[in-house]
Structure 1
Amino acid sequence: MTDVKDKTAPQDAPMQQKNYTGYKSFSYLEPGKDYKVYPLAQELNRVQSRRPEVTPEQEARVRRLFQEQLMISLHDHCFVAPEDLSQFLEFRRWGRDFTGYEGLSVSGLDAVFDNLMNGTAMITSRGGWKWDDIIYDLGMRLSDIAHQDMVVLCRTTEDIVNAKKNGQIAFIVSIEGAAMIENELDRLDILYGLGVRCLGIAYSEGNQLGGGLKEPRDGGLTTFGRQAVKRMNKLGIAIDVSHSGDQTALDTIEVSDKPIFITHAGARALWNSNRLKPDDVIRACAAKGGVIGIEAAPHTTLTEKHSRHTIESFMEHFEYCVNLVGIDHVAFGPDVLFGDHVGLHDALTEALSIGASRGHLSYDKVPFVDGIENPAEAFPNIVRWLVAHGYSDEDIGKAVGGNIMRVLKEAWYK
């Protein structure tokens, strides 16, 4: 590990030393016999993504910050996609998501809110969001994680702190929508018992709890949704409204006794898309102590100034939200993965409600989001950008993890 005091620290060295031994997902099984093999995408250097320019002195400061501060991604999918995305739905029916351990080992992350496969866990249904599929997806992923030591299941804020100390990464199980609980309130308790610590109200489509962002009319949080919010408060499940309709989001913020997250979004004031949040929702979230994580999935956080999606347009949303509600209420939820994210969106347009996520302005389609393409490069480049743009150590610490920890200490049971 390069000494952070060395002002000529090589930029290709890992941000932090993690306990990675070379483990690959499901290597305790026999490929081709225990499961069907699908060639997977390259985790590192799949594309020529550029990093923000920093001086050697600034790079040394970046590396110091990674040692001193908690680095927490509020929203990602740390799986490795298959190379041939035309086979993706068949691949998904096996229920085996391959975690990108190699990529995570150089990401600098201490904790990540990983959102599994959500509605694309189509093991028993082509529609997704079925209870059995979600449980199957969760159990299979955690079985793999249990067979290695670098990534550890996270249940408490203390687990995050310990993961950093031990050269590990805390895996925070998150699910983007609650459709699978149907009208069964106690299923929230089951999810909590299985390790889920963050749950969205709705994923684009409306459900028993409330309206999603693609619904033509958002009736807000239902009576059952209000009960579910209160139950999540009691259990210690953090609440997410990233994909919820505006009224449902506002209702959730009002009803919740605890601060909530908008784990991955941006500012609609910069780009007219339902996938992004209007100022009143962002303000309401912050007023109750909550945090918005800035999103980087392809073609989401665009701006009129930057209609080609790169880290620059992503960070324009960050700065807008900081100016709107203050640095204490903004974080990062890149929503990235290992593989061709744009191709995956093309293959899963209906399942992921991509149409509802696109803005109403013209934009340049990109093959990948330059500078923030996958979990391995996201936080290193985010911190480089913040350092290069003169942010203080204190403010960077808040944005990359401190704000999230503050909310978790209120929202979680412990």
Structure 2
Amino acid sequence: MQPAAPNYTGYAAYDYLEPGRDYEEFALAKQLGRVPAYRLELTAEEQERVTRIFADEVVFSLHEHAIVLPENGDEIRPYNRTGRQRTAYEGMARSGLTAFIDNFMAGASCVTSQNGWKWDDMIYALGYRLADLAKQDHIVLATSVADIHAARTRGQLALIAGFECATMIENELDRIDILYGFGLRQMGIAYSQTNMLGSGLSEEGDGGLTMFGKRAVHRMNQLGILIDISHSGDKTSLDTIAHSEVPVMITHAGARSVWPIARMKPDEVITACAERGGLIGLEAAPNTTISAAHPKHTLDSVMDHFSYCVDLVGIDHVAFGPDTMFGDHMAVHRAYANNYAKNQDHHPDHEPIEYVDGLENPGENFTNITGWLVKHGYSDEDIAKVLGGNIMRVLDQVW
């Protein structure tokens, strides 16, 4: 974890309001030190190199949920039902990141429905968080590549707003424009279950991108919204890659050849995405990017997927989207287990864990990733690419 950013003044979520009167109060998880720190055992020279890379390069997470969860896992659904998740300003101030795509816990913002992904719920998730963001000046909303560079120059952290799927637009194409107007710059096609655009990865059959889905992809291309296929079925993913006029991304997944579960992507999809200029961001949500070499999910497991993808499509098409938050991630999985029809992460050799050692929250993820890359002999040039250079190159084309 990096030292606190010098211009972070200690603002906490919704400090402009009075808890208990203006909104419901919850005891929140610790943002710092909730689990033991990961030990990379870097030499002084390696640590100096990590520090220099953070100072010199754009460090960009393709997928995070930069919020604080309730300390009590049983309160996650009531907390999310308020729509007012708390941005983890303290933890993010120590992340060392230049920018990150925040996916707002949107599908878990079950304000009007227990099943999520409703239009009103998405507006709650987006509106509350961005209103709070506007009351401080450390984390700032970015809607362009120029905004990201400007935030870095000012010592600020750029937040890019994203949703993991487009289910909430229903059959209303113009809702994409509305979300763009509200600041959204990244959106997935389907979140595990099939919607009007295409099939999700938990379905037994995949009908591919629908006619409406093709129109939605075209509209996102017209507006300049980054398209994500992380939770889409394989055929829907391939159709989206083929139909989009600009590169798309797998913002948070891994390689099915390394760990054979539906949540991972097959070589065909990863390769097709890269061949059209896109890239894959490596996932680290608990019990996903495991490997036969490291069946207990840790940083090393995730980096097995990284190494495989680099060998498969080249260093220019790989990045990181850890998909983490501050608090008990497994409690979220338990709270929403019944929302999806199929356990997409099951594997007979799976050794369940409570957190991913080394990639437990957005505040520490990239310090440890960078340390691992340094320790394993990657060049400064290649590290700069996978930490952020590859993402910025693609966003230049998409936005």
The two structures share one fold, judged by TM-score above 0.5: yes
* Partner-residue secondary structure (3-state), 1:119: helix
Change (3 A) 1:234 1:65: same
Residue 387 (structure 2) pairs with residue 400 (structure 1) = yes
Aligned partner of 2:92 in structure 1 is: 104
Q: CA deviation at 1:18?
A: 4.4
Instruction: Answer whether contact 2:359 2:368 (CA < 8 A) is retained.
Output: yes
- Contact 2:2 2:96 (8 Å CA) reproduced: no
Structure 1 residues 289, 238: CA separation in 2 closer, same or farther (over 3 Å shift)? Answer: same
**Superposition misfits of 4+ residues, deviation over 6 angstroms:** none
Q: 1:358 aligns with which of 336, 341, 345?
A: 345
CA contact (8 A) 1:229 1:255 kept: yes
- Give 1:103's aligned amino acid: G
| Cα distance in 2 between the residues matched to 1:347 and 1:330 | 31
Alpha-carbon separation, structure 2, partners of 1:354 and 1:149? 41
Provide the rounded CA distance (Å) in 2 between the counterparts of 1:307 and 1:42.
Answer: 28
Letter in 2 for 1:94: T
State the match for 1:379 in structure 2: 366
One-letter amino acid matched to 2:380? D
Q: Decide whether the 8 Å contact of 1:18 with 1:168 is kept in 2.
A: no
Q: Which residue of 1 aligns with 2:110?
A: 122
Q: State which of 13, 37, 40 in structure 1 corresponds to 2:25.
A: 37
In the alignment, is residue 369 of structure 1 matched against residue 356 of structure 2? Answer: yes
User: How far, CA to CA, are the matches of 2:26 and 2:101 in structure 1?
Assistant: 26
- Normalised by the length of structure 2, the TM-score is 0.98
Tell me, yes or no, if the aligned pair for 1:272 and 1:361 is still in contact at 8 Å.
no
User: 1:410 is aligned with what amino acid?
Assistant: Q
Could you say which residue in structure 2 is the equivalent of 1:86?
A: 74
Structure-2 separation of matches of 1:123 and 1:347: 15
Cα shift readout 1:227-276 (whole Å, capped 9, x = no counterpart): 00011000000000000000000000000000001000000001111000
Question: SS where residue 161 of structure 2 aligns?
Answer: strand
- What's the CA shift for 1:354? 8.6
Aligned to 1:283, what secondary structure does the other structure show?
A: helix
1:74-100 deviations in whole A, cap 9, x for unaligned? 000000000111121111121111011
> 3-state DSSP class of the match of 1:357?
coil
The separation in 2 between residues aligned to 1:18 and 1:223, in whole angstroms, is: 50
In structure 1, stretches of 5+ residues that fail to align are 1-11
Q: What are the Cα deviations for residues 130-149 of structure 1, in whole angstroms up to 9, with x where unaligned? A: 10110111000000100000
What secondary structure, in the 3-state scheme, does the structure 1 residue paired with 2:61 have? strand
Correspondence 1:333 to 2:321 = yes
Corresponding residue for residue 6 of structure 1: none
Partner of 1:8: none
Distance 1:94 1:246 in 2: 34
Given that 2:283 and 2:322 are in contact with CA atoms closer than 8 Å, whether structure 1 keeps it comes out as yes
Q: Distance in 1 between matches of 2:80 and 2:328?
A: 16
When residues 243 and 402 of structure 1 are mapped into structure 2, their CA distance, relative to the original with a 3 A threshold, is same
Give secondary structure in 2 for the equivalent of 1:381. helix
The secondary structure found in structure 1 opposite 2:158 is strand
Distance 1:402 1:153, change over 3 A: same
Shift of 1:357: 2.7
Residue 175 (structure 2) pairs with residue 200 (structure 1): no
Distance 1:42 1:272 in 2: 34
Q: Does 1:301 align with 2:299?
A: no
Between the aligned partners of 2:186 and 2:2, the Cα distance in structure 1 is 32
Backbone CA RMSD of aligned residues: 1.1
Distance 2:270 2:360 in 1: 25
| Residues in 1 aligned to 2:368 and 2:147: alpha-carbon distance in whole angstroms | 25
